[in-house]
Chain A
Amino acid sequence: MTGLPERTEKKLGLVIDLDTCVGCHACVTACKGWNDQGYGVPLSDQNPYGADPSGTFLNRVHSYAVQLVDAAAQIINFPRSCLHCEDAPCVTVCPTGASYKRAEDGIVLVNEDACIGCGLCAWACPYGARELDQAAGVMKKCTLCVDRIYNEALPEEDREPACVRTCPTGARHFGDFADPESKVSRLTAEREGFALMPEMGTKPVNRYLPPRKKDRPEEASLLAPLLDIKATGLAGWLDRVLGKI
């Protein structure tokens, strides 16, 4: 079970547009809301109304300041969740076979009934995509909303991950990376989508789209059009006389 499939028929995953994301955390809330009552045990919180609240989330939104070489710094909001890696180290380290990658669509899942909660898969993941639920003692991770995307009880427009469905700015896209004509493949090609930490050798499926280049402020003075005016009449005469003194 914890052997990785040699290849998967589909490569389902997400494209996250760092240009469009406004950091509203709606995807975090939608993810927690859906996965709290769907696949597997709920995502528990510890001491949620106390002084030191903590809880299990499958998606977190970071904010970074990026200092450009030749322009002002930018704030980039950065959602982080499972990348459904092709060479997923979290799968091969699992001693019980609870962690697996599906041959049909490439989704990396945890069979919670077989999970002993040793936490080794979370250690093996470079991206912090897995969190051990403190109430149930089993590993939780993004399921790509496997209980939505194939769910014929839902209207067709809802058959995508909750984070994608809810994103108010359209910064998240869901699709099949194995199909070069899919929306996610085309977006990745057009916008030079990239993978995170390729040096870890995990071959992530998800792609991030870099922020677009911003307009640059004008180099010249904002008063430029006024500075160029030639004085005429009385002002012109004064200008000439005063210039000679």
Chain B
Amino acid sequence: MNPAPSVVIFTVLSGLGFGFLALLGVFGSAGMAAFFLWALGYGLAVAGLVASTFHLGNPQRALLAFTQWRTSWLSREAWASVVTLLLFAPQAVSDWLGLEWGRGFGMAGAAMAFVTVYCTSMIYAQIRAVPRWHHWTVPAVFLAYALSGALVMGAVRPYAAWMLVLLGIALALHWHFGKSAFARAGASMESATGLGRIGAVSVFEQPHTGGNYLMREMIFVVGRKHADRVRMIAMVCSVMLPVLALMFIPGVAAVIVAVAVHLLGALAQRWLFFAEAEHVVGLYYGAH
């Protein structure tokens, strides 16, 4: 699949933002620090959501995306994100101005924040035509990124390190199952054309000499060439280096280093998530 920068940035930043907001919602903060921390959380989440509209053909009609929550994960994600951001608002005001409104809104917001990240992951995990995505490890990876990124940003040291290890496990499982996903889905050139009943199928001639939307959007093959290297970068940057930074660097510097490399690793992982995913339509073009 085409790793459009808008969707890579959308899923990474909104995941991190909602995770961080959830952390603030549960544990809170006070005074001007609270103002800046909440603003940071909102900034990340909203920047991600805004980025997601950049790849739309007609963004002026984006509000219609709230109408189909009964069937569409994208629509559910739209609702969940707005509800989450609204739920956190009174908590943020209370923390900033010291209004002592309890943590009810923060707790509810935190629960909804993870529902939002789950909805985001299901936009991809629901798609059967992309076997690598159609797996429970996709929501696991998205949720693990949101939670571990938030703990790193919040400098909750021991928990952050343990959560990063869980993220590493989730990534390893996702990549492990991803390798055989296409074969397990059972689609082949023979089943795509139905001609397997008479023989083995290969492409004789493409239907068009130029490119088209399908090939640009779904038969993106650059990522597969460097997949192993990008996997390594993702694992080292988003899991290993932040753990080491949190363990061995003292003070705030650890958090800055850990967040920076973690974010870099998350971007690499998400780029690969799109770039290496094979769509079954590629079979018609002899690609896979």
Binding site for B on A (CB under 8 A): 1-3, 18, 28, 52-57, 60-69, 73-76, 78, 80, 89, 91-98, 114-120, 122-128, 131-134, 136-138, 194-201, 208, 210-211
Contact = CB atoms under 8 A, between A and B. Distances in A.
A84 B189 CA distance: 21
Contacts of B70: 2-3
Contact of B68 (A2, A68, A198, A210): A2
A190 B202 CA distance: 27
A127 B213 contact: no
Interface of B: 1, 55-59, 61-62, 64-68, 70-75, 78, 123, 126-130, 185-187, 189, 191-195, 197-208, 210-214, 217-218, 279-281, 284-285
Secondary structure of the B side of the interface?
mixed
Nearest to B128: A200
B211 to A, nearest CB: 5
A74 B193 CA distance: 14
Contacts of B208: 57, 60
Given A2-B72, A65-B202, A92-B72, A52 B210 contact: yes
B96 to A, nearest CB: 34
A245 to B, nearest CB: 52
Contacts of A18: 195
Most buried by A among B70, B199, B202: B199
A61 B208 CA distance: 8
A173 B202 CA distance: 26
Contact of A117 (B58, B127, B201, B205): B58
Contacts of B193: 62, 64, 76, 78, 196
Nearest to A211: B198
Given A126-B128, A137-B58, A200 B187 contact: yes
A194 B194 contact: yes
Contact of B56 (A55, A67, A116, A200): A116
Contacts of A126: 128-129, 187, 192, 279-281
Given A89-B129, A116-B59, A199-B185, A95 B74 contact: yes
